[in-house]
Structure 1
């Protein structure tokens, strides 16, 4: 499954190609990378800033090298980034000096205040939506004065598409039961209600 998810991101990630070499190849090798280029071109033309999250450090390096080759001001923050350098990266992003910051998902877990970001891009989906939401929250810290748009890139017709559907179904059910109390159960479809109360065989 991990390999399939990597292929959805970029063949070079799965093939373990050198990030610098792969970054200078055509973006057409990855539909996601081509879409990211289009998205960033639009928001940078409007003086916007973006956080780009991926769960793979290798993909983060590839994205960073690709954007740098296109002369997009970008920096990379991952779990191995020293604390002092992390602070400098955050300061440069918050000041607008670096409008695009690429982060590995786990590195974005704690202590980051990135309120300059008007856009959050999830380049790939995490199995646990709570981890993904925690990363998104880096842009929603105290001091945020602008709306934040969240973009999730999904490769259609692949395992990634199925994961997205599964996460959405689970989130909708959780919201229905936990979000608004028992009254929301009346808004479930017959099939959803049946799935909710059906006895399942133990594995």
Structure 2
């Protein structure tokens, strides 16, 4: 198993949204305390993660244009072109059903065969989808992280893409192990997409630098970050380096 962090640049649209949300929400947070402040921090973290994924996810657009608006989507397209040209199969995990739907639509437009498994997928349908994937009928399997973290054997996959990071490393590892498990006979390449200069970048640094800190502080996910001071929070979410 080889794990690689893939850095992507935000588009100008993403960077503009990111900076506006940071500025406006930090101003709100400065005047709040207790339960209200924690709620605002969680709202900020969720918004920034969605912006890093794709502006349409954050803006909740009905019929969005998906291409050319997200660094992550552009990199995913490049990865899939390479993997599919080599007759490979890939699992793509995201924690957001809405983002998976956007990817499903985008890849359909590109003529890529996909299927999408989420929490609402009936058990019989799940088994059918696993069978199709293992038979090579749909080489790109989109999965919501929580729905697909356990109980699936997907050894056809030589690649795993984490489109967005789950900040509890154990949950992410569980998802990766859908492919990297008993019965797997090929190497597994794990690609984690990380938006440069953003909160994703800083969290990735924290996770890489101190696994002990990750277990102790981030084991409860984003909730732990609600206890940061205003100055620590500002440092965590500030956009560095701008867009390309």
TM-score tier by shorter-chain length is 0.7 to 0.9
Once the two structures are superposed, the pairs formed by residues 123-134 of structure 1 within 5 Å of their partners are 123-134=163-174
On the 8 A contact 2:166/2:172 being kept in 1, the answer is: yes
Describe the SS at the equivalent of 1:28: coil
Indicate which of 63, 75, 84 corresponds to 2:103.
Answer: 63
Which residue of structure 2 aligns with residue 111 of structure 1? 151
Is the partner of 1:138 in helix, strand or coil?
Answer: coil
Aligned partner of 1:31 in structure 2 is 71
Q: Number of residue pairs matched?
A: 171
Q: TM-score, normalised by structure 1?
A: 0.81
**Structure 1 residue runs of 4 or more that deviate by more than 4 Å after TM superposition:** none
Does the alignment pair 1:142 with 2:182?
Answer: yes
Matched, 1:7 2:51: yes
| Residue 158, structure 1, aligned to residue 202, structure 2 | no
Establish whether residue 92 from structure 1 lines up as the match of residue 99 from structure 2: no
Larger Rg: 1
Give structure 1 stretches of 5+ with no counterpart. 175-203
Query: How far does residue 26 in structure 1 lie from its aligned partner after superposition?
Result: 4.7
Separation in structure 1 between the aligned mates of residue 91 and residue 101 of structure 2, nearest angstrom: 14
Give the TM-score of the pair, scaled to structure 2: 0.68
1:169 counterpart = 2:213:
no
Please report how far the alpha carbon of residue 173 of structure 1 lies from its aligned counterpart in structure 2 after TM superposition: 7.3
| Unmatched 5+ stretches in structure 2 | 1-44, 215-244
How far did residue 169 of structure 1 move?
1.3
Matches within 5 A, 1:46-85: 46-85=86-125
**1:33-58 CA distances to partner (integer Å, 9 max, x unpaired)?**
01100100011000000000000010
Look up the match of 1:16.
Answer: 60
CA distance in 1, matches of 2:115, 2:66: 21
Distance 1:100 1:126 in 2: 20
SS at match of 2:152: coil
Q: Tell me what 1:44 maps to.
A: 84
Residue 171 of structure 1 deviates from its aligned partner by 2.3
Instruction: Indicate the RMSD between aligned Cα atoms, in angstroms.
Output: 1.5
- Residue 195 of structure 1 is matched in structure 2 by none
